[in-house]
Structure formats: structure tokens, C-alpha cells
Amino acid sequence: MLWVATTLIAAVAQTGRNAAQAGLTGRIGTAGATAVRFIFGLPFALIALAVAAAVTTLPMPDGTVLRWAVTGAIAQMLATGFLLLAMQGRGFGVATALSKTEPVTLALIGALLLAEPLGWSRIAAITIAVAGVLLVSGADWSRLGRRSVFQGVAAGALFGLAAIGFRGAILALPEGGFFLRALTALALSLAIQTVLALIWLILFDRAALGGILREWRVSLAAGALGALASLFWFSGFALTSAANVRTLALIEVPLAQVISGRVFRQSVSARQWAGMGLIVLGVAWLLLAVVG
């Protein structure tokens, strides 16, 4: 059950990173805010990898690991962009909730690509938790624009594909404990993402690159929180199926609501409280299913 602890730590760190990135979007644009988590996260991952290399032998990635890592890296970059666009259009809490339809698509993709078993109990737990997410969003679905729905759901689907790619890379590494393999896969993925982000910004959005440098303090904080969150996400992926990790991670939604209330001054309705109750129920059911 170590994956439970790693997932909860990751969820807390990611909520802080999302809040920092959401604030950057209006100042440096979606592309710049998306790139921050990779460009400023990579140095922290490389420092941790260097420390690990000083005391043990690192697993060497092969072509299979690289293919999985590239899949996860690109999918995560696209997912982050869609999430920030949704945040800009519907608010922090709503966008986070829409993106959290991820566990459904993730469970299906995991079953297809990694042969991870589903089971009716896990499917029911995931469904209940995701239903709670939709309630927590607090959105008036009759007035919600199709673009916002598409952006949020697309972010969730792509985050799911990214999680599968990262788990595939971790499992394909030939040796090492779960934490060492997670760290190696993280550093490789962030290096790929940093190169791609810098190429995009240099070619198409140099103003955003300048903005990132001007906002280096917030960018550094977002990068540090992002690297910390990613390391614990990857550790969770090394220990259990990505669907289990990302369903438990729905605890991030109530955390986002707290951020929405305290930082962005958004109130919490009775329907949202009911949704949070469903999330807790679904997560508890998942944990019982996994333990059983």
C-alpha cells in the first residue's frame, strides 16, 4: 500500500503547482505556463538523479523505454495545455474537475495497452468517484460551452495516455528498485519535454520565453512542485496500475476546491459537497477492491 502514500503526496504537490501555473497563464500565455513545469522541473530531477548515481548504478533506458517515455511526454504536454486553457475559460476548480474524467479513459487504455485487469468492483469505484468529480465542478451543464467541455475532457484523456506511457517506461527499465526506476523515467521524460518546449517557444513564441525568464521566481516554484509531484506520481506508477493511482488522485479535486475558495474566492455549494462525498466513497471502494 506504499502507492497510497506516494499518490497523496503527489496530489498535494500537484495542486500547488496547478495554482502557480494558473496564475502564470494570464501573464505569459498558455504555451509559456505549460513549459514552466518542464523547463524548471528538469534541474531538480537531474540533481536527484545525480545524487542517486553517486550511491548506486542507474538502470539504462533502451529503445522500448524511450518510445514509452516519448508517448507519455508528448501526451502530458498537450494535456497540460488543454488544462490551462480550460482553467482560463471556466475557473480553477471547474477545469480541474473536468480533467479528472481521466481515470475512466485511463482504465480502458491500461487494459488495452498494458493488459491491466479491470474487474467490476474497480469499474464501479472509478465510476462513482468520477461522478463525484462532475458534481464538484459546480458547473451549470446546460450553459457550459462545448469548447470548455472538450478542453477539460481532452486534458483528462491525454493525462491518462501520459500516465500509461510513463508506467510503460518504468516497467520497461531492466533493473532497479521502484524509486530509482521512477526517478530515471522522470528525468528522461522531463528532458524530452524540455527540449520540445524550448524548440516550440524559440520558433513560435519567443515572447513567452521572455515572460518565463521575467517570472522566474513563480516559475521556479511551479517547477519544483511539479518535479516533486511527478516523482511521486512515477513512484506510484511503479508500484501499481496507473488507474489505481489516478483514481486515488481524485482527492486533488477537494483540495482544488479549497484553493478555489481561499485563493480565488469561489464558494462551495451543497452539490459540490455531495460530489466530494462521492469522491471519498469511490476512492474508499477502490482501496478496498485493491486490498481485497
Where are the domains positioned within the chain? 2-291
Residues 244/251, Cβ–Cβ less than 8 Å? no
- Select the more confidently predicted residue: 99 or 240: 240
List, for residues 87-121, the tens digit of each pLDDT value: 665 555 566 666 767 777 767 777 777 666 667 77
Q: How many CB atoms lie under 10 A from the CB of residue 286? A: 23
pTM of the full predicted structure? Answer: 0.79
Segments of the chain assigned E as strands:
none
- Select the more confidently predicted residue: 18 or 54: 54
231-265 residues labelled b (16+ CB within 10 A) or e (exposed): bbbbbbbbbbbbbbbbbbbbbbbbbbbebbeeeee
Q: Does residue 48 carry a pLDDT above 90? A: yes
Q: Does residue 182 carry a pLDDT above 80? A: yes
List the one residue out of 13, 12, 36 whose CA is nearest residue 23: 36
